[in-house]
Structure 1
Amino acid sequence: MQFDKYTIRPLAISDLNQYFDLVERNRKRLEDFFTGTVSKTKDLAATEQFLKEIDEKRTKREYFPYLVVDNSTNEFIAFIDLKNVDWSIPKTEIGCYTDVNFAGKGVTTKAMNLFVDYCFETFDFKKIYLRTHHSNKAAQIVAERCSFELEGTIRMDYITTAGEIVDLMYYGRLKKSKI
């Protein structure tokens, strides 16, 4: 998938070094709400093992990791994933983080809109949802600009890296029916 000067493509094991660099540049920002990523990418060897684990989950259709790549520099500027896949409904949770150098520039909103449409068509999900903390105003803005609707707040729904149990806001977007 391409938009502007960017490509959205699946994350591969061969992306190890650049993916590790993306996480490293943003580790402090990711600490509280990307617990798995932060805890499993402490060094290059751990990151390689993590990529192998998520590749196995992709093979089982349980997890789908993607990158947003700048076509002119080949730099990884964002990460988008589908997790908590429930094929019985079918629905999935979408997660995303953007490199600090690209945050607030509209790239995430464009990527998310394109990617969500792609997921509805490719995987035939009926619903895609995202969860965010009330302090993450950027995620709320992206969700709303991408036609996600606030469905509510689930109390004591997530444990941060620091061990704090926090409430999360749930946003959902339904696949549009074809007329």
Structure 2
Amino acid sequence: MINQYSKRFLTGDKVALRKITKEDYQDYFAIEDLMESRLLMNDEIPFPPTERDHEKFLSEINPEKDEYIFGIELKDEKIFIGTISVYSVNWKNGTCHVGVSIGADYQGKGYGTDSMKVLVDFIFNYMNLNKVKIQVFSYNKRAIASYEKCGFFLEGTLKEELFRFGSYHDIYYMGILRKDWKNTQV
């Protein structure tokens, strides 16, 4: 018999993380095609990808290669609002990178913070890693504040690494260690 907790394995206060299905593709494409989304998550030239590009990206995510992507849905309404991922897992050193993308209508409402807390908990409690890392552009103040709420600290700055809006910007590297995360779980 399946208990109530195993049905929704990765849940937070506001969101649930789950596998992405074909039914999510159009919503995923809409989020990833917004220029604002491209400017916040990718340091490449912000050219809109095609549906084929999106499908190829999603089909190439492979847990056998230690890459994991989850759909983010509102816990009560079950509405797909974005994605969150774990990638570049280094089992030898116990590290990984994470990334998150939330639809514009759902930003600034705590969904990204809740999603990241759920993912970090998953990484430390089920993947048994020691450190989670994230890259964020210096002008993305809302994301920086969210990551800090999750316990991430600034670890390094790549000065004027990114060209956006006609000038150069820094890229911040933030991280959280298992021992620091445990201290926030009291």
Q: TM-score, normalised by structure 1?
A: 0.79
Aligned to 1:106: 110
Find the aligned partners of 1:2 and 1:151 in 2 and give their Cα distance: 28
1:169 counterpart = 2:176? no
1:2 counterpart = 2:19? no
Query: Against the structure 1 CA distance between its residues 71 and 147, is the aligned structure 2 distance closer, same or farther, given a 3 Å change threshold?
Result: closer
Asked if structure 2 preserves the Cα contact closer than 8 Å seen for 1:35 and 1:161, the reply is no
1:59 counterpart = 2:68? no
Query: Against the structure 1 CA distance between its residues 81 and 36, is the aligned structure 2 distance closer, same or farther, given a 3 Å change threshold?
Result: farther
CA RMSD, 1 decimal: 3.0
Q: In the alignment, which of 20, 33, 43 is matched to residue 29 of structure 2? A: 20
Asked if structure 2 preserves the Cα contact closer than 8 Å seen for 1:94 and 1:128, the reply is yes
Q: In the alignment, which of 125, 141, 159 is matched to residue 145 of structure 2? A: 141
Moved more, 77-86 or 27-36: 27-36
Find the aligned partners of 1:111 and 1:172 in 2 and give their Cα distance: 16
List aligned pairs for 1:59-78, cutoff 5 A: 59-61=64-66, 63-78=67-82
Find the aligned partners of 1:67 and 1:37 in 2 and give their Cα distance: 23
Q: In the alignment, which of 44, 48, 55 is matched to residue 55 of structure 2? A: 48
Matched-pair identity in %: 25
Q: In the alignment, which of 122, 127, 136 is matched to residue 126 of structure 2? A: 122
Report how far residue 13 of structure 1 moved. 5.2
Aligned to 1:150: 154
Find the aligned partners of 2:21 and 2:108 in 1 and give their Cα distance: 26
Aligned to 2:39: 32
**Paired residues, what number?**
172
Find the aligned partners of 1:37 and 1:72 in 2 and give their Cα distance: 36
Find the aligned partners of 1:44 and 1:38 in 2 and give their Cα distance: 18
Asked if structure 2 preserves the Cα contact closer than 8 Å seen for 1:13 and 1:48, the reply is no
Q: Which runs of 5+ in 2 are unaligned?
A: 1-9
Find the aligned partners of 1:86 and 1:104 in 2 and give their Cα distance: 31
Asked if structure 1 preserves the Cα contact closer than 8 Å seen for 2:15 and 2:114, the reply is no
